[in-house]
């Protein structure tokens, strides 16, 4: 987004960062996402469609990418957590580009520390509450469940939006129901419309601190085929951007966009959509950050 590069994060109010990590499964390669999202984000202008000016509201900087360990998933989760926690300790809100969805656990843990649990708005084709089939790892398929089980996220203030696509098992949404999370499928979003979807999100997360995690595969493959688990029949960009804009005014403490896989995105189209989603998350975060700062 042509923000200044401030690698030590000093004096930064909102840090834009890359978390370049993916677990070795599926089509993978989301570790290359931050580079292509950063490249395409250069096309974004200074003001949003609805005239939010995040770079005027807050000191926004590109803090670069976390240095992770591609050979060790557990170490990478810890390194990404420490990277975000360091920035949070300096007073910054953090908006990150993944990376696969497992890194959301790190981004939330680094931001929240022991000050949780927070609310969560989770855009995804998939519920990401699967059992761990790999043996004790936090990864892209269980990141939401792991964040709740760690006490970082309040299930009663969590809503997943845009769920669609084929499933591994018929019961893949039961964990949401059994643990008090809310869930809107793409059909629910279509029936409610953007305004109704926003109203339901606001009802669930309320006034408390809230994080936005956006798995790009929530989008229809027309917008996001460059991802590890593409799912036709998803959200449109107008729905996604409208819903994100409708969340302005909530206490958004940061967010992420994950799962852009550049080898399957040769035109940069998926990364362009991700960069615009990241910008909308930045706008919501900047409005909340500036409001709290100016009240102090």
Binding site for Mn ion (CB under 5 A): 101, 124-126, 128, 215, 217
Q: Shortest gap between Cβ of 115 and Mn ion (angstroms)?
A: 24
Q: Shortest gap between Cβ of 204 and Mn ion (angstroms)?
A: 18
Q: Which is nearer to Mn ion, 206 or 263 (CB)?
A: 263
Q: Shortest gap between Cβ of 76 and Mn ion (angstroms)?
A: 17
* Residues 24, 9: Cα–Cα separation, whole Å: 30
* Residues 63, 69: Cα–Cα separation, whole Å: 18
Q: Shortest gap between Cβ of 238 and Mn ion (angstroms)?
A: 20
Q: Which is nearer to Mn ion, 89 or 233 (CB)?
A: 233
Q: Which is nearer to Mn ion, 150 or 290 (CB)?
A: 150
Q: Shortest gap between Cβ of 217 and Mn ion (angstroms)?
A: 4
Q: Shortest gap between Cβ of 184 and Mn ion (angstroms)?
A: 15
Q: Shortest gap between Cβ of 260 and Mn ion (angstroms)?
A: 12
Q: 172: buried, middle or exposed (CB in 10 Å: 19+, 13-18, 0-12)? A: middle
The CA dihedral of 255, 131, 155, 165, to the nearest 10 degrees, is 70
Q: Which is nearer to Mn ion, 98 or 116 (CB)?
A: 98
Q: How far apart are the first and last CA of the chain?
A: 28
Q: Which is nearer to Mn ion, 48 or 210 (CB)?
A: 210
DSSP calls for 240-291: HHHHHHHTTTS-EEEEEEE-B-GGG-TTSHHHHHHHHHHHHHHHHHHHHHHH
Residue-wise over 216-251: b if at least 16 C-beta within 10 A, else e?
bbbbbbebbbbbbbbbeebbebebbbbbbbbbbebb
CA 173 to chain centre: 20
Q: What angle do CA 54, 190, 242 make, to 5 degrees?
A: 10
């Amino acid at each position: 987004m042509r923000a200044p590069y401030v690698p030590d994060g000093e004096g930064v109010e909102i840090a834009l960062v890359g978390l370049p990590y993916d677990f070795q499964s599926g089509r993978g390669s989301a570790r290359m996402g931050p580079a292509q999202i950063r490249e395409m984000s250069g096309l974004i202008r200074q003001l949003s469609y609805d005239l939010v000016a995040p770079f005027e509201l807050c000191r926004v900087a590109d803090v670069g990418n976390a240095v992770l360990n591609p050979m060790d998933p557990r170490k990478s989760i810890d390194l990404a957590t420490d990277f975000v926690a360091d920035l949070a300790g300096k007073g910054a809100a953090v908006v990150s580009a993944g990376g696969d969805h497992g890194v959301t656990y790190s981004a939330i843990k680094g931001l929240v520390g022991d000050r949780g649990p927070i609310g969560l708005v989770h855009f995804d084709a998939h519920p990401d509450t699967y059992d761990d089939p790999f043996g004790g790892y936090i990864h892209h398929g269980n990141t939401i469940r792991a964040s709740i089980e760690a006490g970082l996220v309040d299930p009663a203030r969590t809503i997943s939006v845009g769920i669609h696509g084929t499933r591994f098992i018929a019961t893949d949404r039961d964990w949401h129901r059994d643990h008090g999370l809310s869930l809107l499928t793409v059909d629910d979003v279509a029936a409610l419309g953007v305004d109704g979807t926003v109203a339901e999100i606001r009802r669930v997360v309320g006034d408390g601190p809230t994080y936005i995690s956006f798995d790009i595969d929530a989008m229809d493959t027309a917008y996001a085929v460059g991802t590890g688990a593409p799912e036709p029949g998803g959200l449109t960009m107008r729905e996604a951007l409208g819903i994100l804009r409708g969340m302005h005014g909530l206490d958004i403490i940061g967010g992420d966009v994950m799962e852009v896989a550049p080898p399957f995105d040769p035109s940069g189209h998926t990364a362009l959509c991700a960069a615009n989603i990241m910008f909308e998350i930045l706008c919501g975060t900047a409005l909340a950050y500036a409001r709290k700062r100016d009240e102090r």
